């Protein structure tokens, strides 16, 4: 096995006086010179390569740091956006509720009532059973306002709303029609069944009293009718309203049923 001569060993051989007349001496000197030049070039390339690697690594580290920072910012923005979206959804639900509910009693307002009436009309057209409508009105409500103030009147309306709703089924609807008037929508309910329900409502209201300087008994008058197939719903509403007016004219605290 042969071993490679080092530069120092080659230089000593070339400087040996005995090799002065060796015909290969110039060629060997030239080869040694080129070998040194090539190694110097290689070393420079290695240094350049090392610098380039260090720069590339530094740039990569900077990019990763920037990426992590941007990712954290994006995650923060996403969390803020999620909270904002939830707030918007909650606000939308509140606005929807406010648009469909009476602010005092929490009952459905006219808008929601008319939407439900539209659903019932569509169901009837598909062959469903007719529904019944009831118009309720608090008796002597103006006297309560005049004698005890509007705050007392508001308490009465809330008491009536709560009492009426507790007598209804889950799919029935009690809406505030206006002032001290309420309307009941009773789906798939004929006059006989609706009559019993309204009488229970009126009896529950009779058990209420307005507490103050003196106890004031409460009562309601009611007009009841059923929807007739193919008629305009306004006619049904007017029929129930007319029955209510007649019940109040007949002495209040009573129910008048109008079949058609």
Strands 132-138, 173-178: pairing kind: unpaired
Q: How far apart are CA 65 and CA 52, in angstroms?
A: 20
Which one of the listed residues 37, 43, 180, 192 is annotated catalytic? 180
Question: CA dist 159 to 121, 137, 156, 168, 209, Å?
Answer: 30, 13, 5, 15, 9
Question: CA dist 140 to 67, 145, 161, 206, 253, Å?
Answer: 74, 9, 16, 13, 10
Which residues, other chains included, contact 66 with Cβ-Cβ below 8 Å and sequence gap of 6+? none
The rounded radius of gyration (Å) of the Cα atoms in the chain is 48
188 labelled catalytic: no
Question: CA dist 69 to 58, 72, 87, Å?
Answer: 16, 5, 27
Question: CA dist 206 to 139, 154, 209, Å?
Answer: 11, 18, 8
* Contact present, 19 and 13 (Cβ < 8 Å): yes
Q: How far apart are CA 209 and CA 132, in angstroms?
A: 29
Pure H helices in 101-149: 110-125, 141-148
Q: How far apart are CA 234 and CA 124, in angstroms?
A: 15
Catalytically active residues are 180
């Amino acid at each position: 096995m042969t071993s490679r001569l080092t530069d120092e060993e080659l230089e000593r051989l070339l400087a040996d006086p005995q090799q002065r007349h060796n015909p290969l001496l110039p060629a060997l000197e030239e080869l040694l010179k080129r070998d040194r030049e090539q190694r110097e070039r290689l070393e420079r390339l290695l240094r350049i390569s090392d610098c380039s690697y260090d720069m590339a690594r530094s740039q990569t580290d900077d990019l990763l740091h920037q990426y992590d920072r941007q990712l954290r910012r994006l995650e923060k923005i996403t969390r803020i956006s999620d909270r904002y979206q939830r707030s918007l959804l909650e606000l939308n639900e509140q606005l929807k509720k406010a648009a469909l509910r009476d602010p005092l009693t929490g009952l459905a307002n006219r808008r929601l009532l008319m939407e439900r009436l539209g659903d019932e009309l569509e169901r009837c057209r598909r062959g469903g059973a007719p529904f019944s409508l009831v118009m309720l009105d608090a008796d002597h409500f103006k006297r309560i306002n005049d004698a005890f103030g509007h705050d007392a009147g508001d308490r009465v309306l809330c008491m009536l709303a709560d009492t009426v709703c507790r007598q209804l089924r889950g799919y029935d609807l009690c809406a505030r029609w206006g002032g001290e008037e309420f309307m009941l929508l009773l789906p798939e309910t004929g006059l006989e069944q609706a009559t019993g329900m309204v009488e229970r409502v009126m009896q529950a209201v009779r058990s209420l009293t307005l507490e103050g300087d003196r106890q004031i008994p409460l009562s309601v008058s009611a007009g009841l009718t059923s929807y007739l197939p193919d008629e305009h719903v306004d006619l049904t509403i007017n029929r129930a309203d007319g029955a209510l007016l007649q019940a109040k004219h007949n002495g209040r605290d009573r129910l008048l049923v109008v079949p058609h």
